[in-house]
Amino acid sequence: MFPIKDENPTETTPYLTIALIVVNLGIFLATFLSGSFDQIIGDYGMKPAELLAGKNLHTLFTSMFLHGGFLHVIGNVWFLWIFGDNIEDYFGREKFLLIYFSTGIVASLAHAALNPGSVIPTIGASGAIAGILGAYIVKYPRAKVYTVLFFFLFYVIKIPAVAFLGIWIGIQVLSATVTAVAGVAVSTAYWAHIGGFALGAAMVYLWEKSK
């Protein structure tokens, strides 16, 4: 299940969304071509054990702009492009950035709290983008998302955002639960996705309720 686009036009140009996409892609390419990829990931990725010991706190921020491969970064910026423009358009640049960075930081903290002894660097913008998805499901639950499904053949269907994003977060929760019960180490920070999504949804819900 992969999104192609949404039926949710904007009234303004999403400059910040575009800027974040360009920065994420630019930093990935610079890191990939630097010849010091592993060292950069080790120095600027967020390691839960170090963070909880009060060390290298800057990695809460720097880890959001690092990615482990082309599919990792392309997948993240694609989701940001589809869902981020509407959140920036509706809430404005300040609140958009507040959602993005606060949920990204909380996502890393959630992962660290549930993996306190890990020294494996955690990287990626997915926690922050999960926050944007959480904001979107609250604000635009009925917006249609063109979605690719594969069942022997490829199909493109339109489904409400609440269904698409509900399935997405459901997969994150199920995956996090299964891996925790099985005691399996995985490379995907499912709890970071869950934490970012939950905070993004809560922020928008509270903002809308306060109007």
Residue 164 belongs to a domain: no
End-to-end CA distance of the chain: 35
Q: Is residue 34 part of a domain?
A: yes
pLDDT at 154: 85
Amino acid found at 52: L
**CA atoms of 186 and 142, how far apart (whole Å):** 33
102: part of which helix (H) or strand (E)? helix 70-114
Give yes or no for residue 184 having a pLDDT over 90: no
Alpha-carbon distances, residue 67 vs 2, 41, 72, 111, 157 (angstroms): 20, 8, 6, 16, 30
Q: Domain for residue 53, yes or no?
A: yes
Nearest to 63 by CA among 135, 19, 128: 128
Residue 158 counted as domain residue:
no
Tokens of 96: 């958009």
Does the residue 162 lie in any domain?
no
Report pTM. 0.94
Residue 25 within any structural domain of the chain: yes
Of residues 13, 7, 8, the one with CA closest to residue 88 = 13
172 lies in a domain? Answer: no
Kindly give, in sequence order, each residue whose CB lies less than 8 Å from that of residue 30, ignoring residues fewer than 6 positions away: none
Tell me the per-residue pLDDT of 46-69, one tens digit each, with 9 for 90 and over.
999 999 999 999 999 999 999 999
Q: Is the per-residue pLDDT at 179 higher than 90? A: no
Q: For residue 79, give its domain range.
A: 9-142+190-209
Instruction: Please give the tally of structural domains in the chain.
Output: 1
Tell me the CATH number at 41: 1.20.1540.10
pLDDT single digits (tens) 98-151 = 999 999 999 999 999 999 999 999 999 999 999 999 999 999 999 999 999 887
**Which of 66, 68, 70, 90 shows the shortest CA–CA distance to 10?**
90
Inside any domain, residue 120: yes
The model's confidence at residue 185, banded by pLDDT at 50, 70 and 90, is low
